[in-house]
Structure 1
Amino acid sequence: MLSLIDTHHHFLDPQAHRYPWLNDPGQPHHRYGDHSRLNRPYLPADYARDTAGVNLLGSVHVEAEWDPRDPMGEMRFIGSLRERGGLPSVAIGQAWLDRPDAAAMLEQLAAFDFVRGVRQKPRANAAPGGAPGGMTDAAWLQGYARLGPLGLHYELQTPWWHLQEAARVAADFPGTRIVINHAGMPSDRSEEGLRSWRSALAAMAAHPNVAIKISGIGEPGGQWRLDANRRVVLDVIEIFGVDRCMFASNYPVDSLCASFQDIFDGFASCVRDFSAEEQAKLFVENARRIYRIGVDRRS
């Protein structure tokens, strides 16, 4: 049975709390397509059902785009789940780094002993080119500068064409870790698209304070195809090396594409020729180290 720490999943309850992308009418579809069937609670019992075929050693809840007016509410909700059942092991909170109250919000998030970092999807263009994205804004950078001193890292979810901006941030703040979400979002699987994506990843990999999660690599229409994803998985590992890559489910969102078991069987198939030590790093040990699972966050 495969042992793993799942570095990216979401617990949510849209019946009890507000998630604009699930609760509010007129929201655009997810990049996989219609996501209306996600508008239901997904709690530890549901996650236990989906992960029954693996030896789950820990997990990381990543903010689920909870009501932005109350980012602490989500961490209180996650804290209550941890008290009842022990999962998630740690969490990533929501933080709007360019808001006037960013300093206070970050201090409150850092006060939760299970919070390891924050995520805010910075302003981005829908396609390559165009104006610079949100990571160039002075207010955003001022908020970002507060992360390192608070012991928090930054979870980056942005299209690959904004990774050059992120590389400058990584260089300017070498003491703050960045964890790239969803393999840098290789949405364009054409040869030209993948070549540009790889170049953008290489710019980030040049900075030792950047790690990456291999997750969220389904395709529009709800497909998780091993023949299409094997190349993505192996390219990420080649660029970043086995010490800075982690696997993750992105559940329940990626239930739109495949079962939890199929996703991790796919990952395992991609790295079957790696050594046992390398596989242990990719599935467990890098996650334990980067997310400081089992240690005091402030140590």
Structure 2
Amino acid sequence: MLALIDTHHHFYDPAAHYYPWLNDAGVPPHRYGDHSALKRPYLPADYLRDTAGIDLVGSVHVEAEWDPKDPVGELRFIASLREQSGLPSVAVGQAWLHQPDAPSTLEQLAAFDFVRGVRQKPRANAAPGGPPGGMTDAAWLQGYARLEPLGLHYELQTPWWHLHEAARVAAKFPHTPIVINHAGVPSDRSEEGLRAWRTALAGMAAHPHVAIKISGIGEAGYQWRPDANRRVVLEVIELFGVDRCMFGSNYPVDSLCASYQSIFENFASYVAGFSAQERAQLFVENARRIYRIAP
């Protein structure tokens, strides 16, 4: 059995805390469609049940879109879960880089010894074209400049049509690591859509301090499609190389698409022809290095 560090999952409790996407009525639709099944607590006990049979050796909690008025509160909650269960190994916090309070927020997040980076989904267009996105804003760039001195990396989740803006950010800040979430979000699986996605990802892959998580590759309106997702996985690895790719479950969100075991059995089958060392890099070693997870 392959060991695994899961580089992308979420813990949350909408019964005790405020998450707009889980608590509010009339929120924008989820990219997978109806997400009402997710509007319940998802805590370490639930995660351990879902990962039963997986040789889990570490995990990364990624901010779960907690109340944006109190991003530090989420990490206090995660700290309490770590004390109770030992999970997650490390975490990625929420930070709104364009806000005036970003410097204080980043300093408070960096003070948690298990926080490795921050995520904020920058302002983006709903489709290709349109005005520039949030990564071009001067205030956002000022906030981004504060990451490196604090030892934080940036977790990037944005549609592929904004990756050219991210590539300019990567060039401007070559010492701030970037981890792309969800394989660059290849939501359009047409040939034209996949070509455009691959071209955009190639621009990011040209920067050696950019890594990528192969996670969250489900599709709206479908259960997990093994053949369609095989192409995405293998093209990402081809672009970034084995030493800059990692696997993540995006659980419980991707429970809308497949079981945990099914997702990772598929990931394992896609790379079955790789060497044992390459598989170890993809499933454990890259995550251990990039997220600084002790054995």
TM-score of the superposed pair, with normalisation by structure 1: 0.98
CA contact (8 A) 1:212 1:244 kept: yes
Aligned counterparts of 2:68 and 2:17: Cα–Cα separation in 1: 12
Where do residues 144-183 of structure 1 align in structure 2 (5 Å cutoff)? 144-183=144-183
Instruction: Give secondary structure in 2 for the equivalent of 1:93.
Output: strand
- Residue of structure 2 in register with 1:269 after alignment: 269
Residue type at the aligned position of 1:121: K
Residue type at the aligned position of 1:94: Q
Aligned counterparts of 1:174 and 1:115: Cα–Cα separation in 2: 21
1:98 and 2:98 are equivalent in the alignment: yes
Instruction: Give secondary structure in 2 for the equivalent of 1:29.
Output: coil
The RMSD of aligned alpha carbons is: 0.7
Give identity over the alignment, percent.
82
Residue 147 of structure 1, CA deviation: 0.1
CA contact (8 A) 1:177 1:209 kept: yes
Residues 256-279 of structure 1: CA deviation (Å, up to 9, x unaligned): 000000000000010000000000
Aligned counterparts of 2:107 and 2:118: Cα–Cα separation in 1: 11
- Residue of structure 2 in register with 1:143 after alignment: 143
Instruction: Give secondary structure in 2 for the equivalent of 1:263.
Output: helix
- Off by >2 Å, runs of 4+ in structure 1: none
Residue type at the aligned position of 1:125: N
Residue type at the aligned position of 1:248: G
Where do residues 1-299 of structure 1 align in structure 2 (5 Å cutoff)? 1-294=1-294
Q: Report how many aligned residue pairs link the two structures.
A: 295
Residues 63-116 of structure 1: CA deviation (Å, up to 9, x unaligned): 000000111110000000001111100000000000000000000000000000
Residue type at the aligned position of 1:21: W
Residues 134-179 of structure 1: CA deviation (Å, up to 9, x unaligned): 0000000000000000000000000000000000000000000000
Aligned counterparts of 1:6 and 1:222: Cα–Cα separation in 2: 23
Aligned counterparts of 2:183 and 2:23: Cα–Cα separation in 1: 27
TM-score of the superposed pair, with normalisation by structure 2: 0.99
Instruction: Give secondary structure in 1 for the equivalent of 2:68.
Output: coil
Residue 294 of structure 1, CA deviation: 1.4
Question: Higher mean Cα deviation, 11-20 or 218-227?
Answer: 218-227
Residue type at the aligned position of 1:62: V
Residue type at the aligned position of 2:264: F
Residue type at the aligned position of 1:177: P
Structure 2 gap segments, 5+ residues each: none
